[in-house]
Amino acid sequence: MSAAHPSRPSGESILQAWIEHGVVHCTLQLAAGADRDAVRARMVTLLTEAATGQYWAGRWKHVDLDERWHVLLVTMDEGDGDAELGGSHLDGHHAQRVPARDLVEAARDYLETHG
């Protein structure tokens, strides 16, 4: 389990997913005191919804599944339950730039099998 990164609020759990050389890589950093199983279950639900093009985080938020990303980032605030899902384009990053759909599905599958 990763320790909380000093530059981010301790109340946030963060999932990152990317595909490098055809292999899915994921990291999950838990908020201080967060229950791993509960966070994983909430993220699986969010990613399942996002695979349809929208997810619920206090309101419906849209995801462009055809947009191409290097890295998927999911942030969940353990205090208010808010969540954000988005992608990043990183210059010099070794990850493949793939459709958001691929990263959403890969991250969900990873969490379901490596919970």
Side chain identity, residue 36: R
pLDDT at 1: 35
* Contact predicate 110/24, CB 8 Å: yes
Q: How far is 14 from 88, CA to CA, in rounded Å?
A: 14
pLDDT at 91: 62
Comparison of pLDDT for 26 and 90, the residue scoring more: 26
pLDDT tens, residue by residue, 65-76: 999 999 999 999
Of 53, 15, 13, 55, the C-alpha closest to 32 is 13
pLDDT tens, residue by residue, 45-61: 999 999 999 998 888 99
Q: Which tokens sit at 63?
A: 């995801």
Q: Sketch the domain layout of the chain as residue ranges.
A: 12-113
Q: How far is 10 from 70, CA to CA, in rounded Å?
A: 25
Q: How far is 61 from 68, CA to CA, in rounded Å?
A: 18
pLDDT tens, residue by residue, 88-110: 876 655 678 899 999 999 999 99
pTM check: above 0.95: no
